[in-house]
Structure 1
Amino acid sequence: MTCLVVRGDKNSGAGILSSSSWPVKPIQGAIIQELRIAGHNIVQGFPTSEPYKTKNSAYFGETIGRVANRIKNAEIKNLNGQSYKLAANNGPNALHGGPAGWGKRTFEGPEPVSRNGTEAVQFKYLSKDGEEGYPGTVELRVWYIASKKNDDGVEKTQLEIEYEVELVGDEVEETVVSVTNHSYFNISGGETIEGTEATLMTDQYMVVDDTDIPTGEIKAFPGVEANKNFTLGAVDPDIDHCFVINTDPSSVLLDTRQVPARKLCSFFHPNTKLHFEVLSTEPAFQFYTGKYIDIPAVGGAPARGARAGFCVEPSRYIDAANNDDWKKMVLLKKGQTYGSKIIYRGWKE
């Protein structure tokens, strides 16, 4: 049995939706609180909303923006003919939109809607000019579209996330955007991801400096072969890098929804017989095996430690705002629309 309970703050109230076909539970901030595959919740989270505000240093389930991943020295060097200093929260850099990024904010919604002929819920968020240092007022729209797919007799649960952002304020002519979701997945049925078989569809990754900012070089990641599975152990491999599925930055559109979603990676665990895969229209994805998870027991949820989950964060290139060859993929001007899609798909043997 699958169900949906959506909680969200709207006009200081809470909305609750129920549907027998929904396997996902998003809450305020468009956070994914649960994602159930064949009765198994495969994402890390909290049973109530309060810990997401006070204990979620790991970004469990959060919608990440205004810009996902890192921006060098917490500064956008050339935008609207000037530089912008951002809130630094990862050494010298800005990470995931800053200490009060979109995942920490209260969204409008959820609103039940039909999207592409399928039952969905929509969240909206108005990010004001100057929030965390970013210029321009933008509106974010998030759709969660859940469905069941029958693939050669196998029923697969699918959650599609669709992001859309527009520069709606008149303060500036341009800003930068890169949105993702920061769910931690665990299909093992246990406390850690140990024993999970992983396959990445690319071995190309962004080489970074000692502050995790790209050097500009993209090359093969040592120890990972594209389309060949490897096993996540108790400690190794320890991965927290951005893999590139589209190595031609000039071909990346501002609205990537115009291109078909591609499979980024797939996972299987022999104990649970659960399969899970991530697809996206995005050109890159951060793959993180959870070394630094350190969440105390709170609100009825157990403590979560290292390797309690892995992340797959589809997005644009890291620090694209400060790289002339990559900048257009994150540069949002008046009258334009930023868009992207992420698809989570799972099933049990």
Structure 2
Amino acid sequence: MMSLDEKIFGQMPDGTPVKIYTLKNPHGMIARITEFGAIITELHVPDRDGKDGNVVLGFDDLDRYLRGHPFFGAIAGRVANRIGNGKFVLDGQEYALAKNNGPNHLHGGLKGFDKKVWKSKPLPAGGHSVAVEMSCFSPDGEEGYPGNLTLTVVYTLTDRNELRIDYKATTDKATPVNFTNHSYFNLAGSGDILAHELWLNADSYTPVDDGLIPSGEIKSVKGTALDFTKQTAMGARYKETGLKTPGYDHNFVLNHSGKRL
């Protein structure tokens, strides 16, 4: 049967208690999500042989997250990824943002959504799913962004072994929004991921400079280390991407004609 439990995960330095929720389905899939950063701390998925494994990186206590981490499982925002030189122009006005990545703004700034204690509530259970709602408020001017913004994120675990994430944001001024969940996956549950095989429905990518800021170009992946149009091991070409640190930190342009905002 589907189940949802909650308990105290820890306390913030000011004494604010922080909850963590455990969502389970009858097939052995388990998701744990905390109010701090709306972080997915664990995601247990049985493999083809029924063996359990936690396939995301995270910590088992709040203090470890408070000491700093590379956005493990958190909601990044208002804008995920980098904004070059920590500024942007919107409707003819320039906005200066907090700089927390050299000269750039990264994942919402010095106190992005990953560092907030979100409000939470379990949602009424359906016959085939359980869900928890997380919400946070970002006031006008926070980290340099215009407008009061409220973000609601719903995590839903289904009996089909799906973990769905739905986002809804409202604001009283025009403002950029680009949220993501920043989970790190290891489908083996341990060890490295160099043998993981990846296929992407993406014929193009956005080149970046030394600071990982997109140049504005869109280029073909053909003949590059970024070509995953055929199933390829992650470790096969990761040292050939041209980045200072070997690996992949690029945006891929997916092949679909989806809706645009």
Distance 1:48 1:247, change over 3 A: same
Distance 1:196 1:16, change over 3 A: closer
Identity rate, percent? 38
Does the Cα contact within 8 Å between 1:66 and 1:178 map onto a contact in 2?
yes
Q: CA deviation at 1:160?
A: 0.5
Give unpaired runs (5+ residues) of structure 1: 150-156, 255-349
1:243 is the counterpart of 2:258: no
**CA separation in 1, counterparts of 2:113 and 2:156?**
20
**CA separation in 2, counterparts of 1:234 and 1:209?**
23
1:160 is the counterpart of 2:164: yes
Letter in structure 2 aligned against 1:232: M
Distance 1:110 1:54, change over 3 A: farther
TM-superposition CA deviations, 1:209-250 (whole Å, max 9, x none): 2322222211122134353111123983521101011587xx
**CA separation in 1, counterparts of 2:144 and 2:94?**
10
Distance 1:116 1:136, change over 3 A: farther
1:123 is the counterpart of 2:134: yes
Per the alignment, residue 39 of structure 2 pairs with 31
Q: CA deviation at 1:27?
A: 0.5
**CA separation in 2, counterparts of 1:208 and 1:33?**
30
Q: Tell me the TM-score normalized by structure 2.
A: 0.81
Distance 1:126 1:189, change over 3 A: closer
Q: CA deviation at 1:165?
A: 0.4
Matched positions, count = 239
**CA separation in 2, counterparts of 1:228 and 1:234?**
13
Per the alignment, residue 225 of structure 1 pairs with 227
Does the Cα contact within 8 Å between 2:22 and 2:30 map onto a contact in 1?
no
Note the 1:308-347 alignment, pairs <5 A: none
**CA separation in 1, counterparts of 2:168 and 2:45?**
27
Equivalent position SS for 1:132: helix
**CA separation in 2, counterparts of 1:117 and 1:128?**
36
**CA separation in 1, counterparts of 2:61 and 2:45?**
21
Alignment counterpart, residue 69 of structure 1, candidates 77, 81, 90: 81
**CA separation in 2, counterparts of 1:208 and 1:105?**
30
Does the Cα contact within 8 Å between 2:24 and 2:31 map onto a contact in 1?
no
Distance 1:233 1:135, change over 3 A: same
Per the alignment, residue 57 of structure 2 pairs with 44
Q: Which protein, 1 or 2, shows the higher relative CO under an 8 Å CA cutoff with sep ≥ 6? A: 1
Per the alignment, residue 202 of structure 1 pairs with 202
Q: CA deviation at 1:192?
A: 1.5
Letter in structure 1 aligned against 2:137: L
Does the Cα contact within 8 Å between 1:71 and 1:94 map onto a contact in 2?
yes
Letter in structure 2 aligned against 1:245: L
Does the Cα contact within 8 Å between 1:86 and 1:134 map onto a contact in 2?
yes
Does the Cα contact within 8 Å between 1:188 and 1:194 map onto a contact in 2?
no
Does the Cα contact within 8 Å between 2:202 and 2:255 map onto a contact in 1?
no
**CA separation in 1, counterparts of 2:20 and 2:111?**
26
Q: Tell me the TM-score normalized by structure 1.
A: 0.62
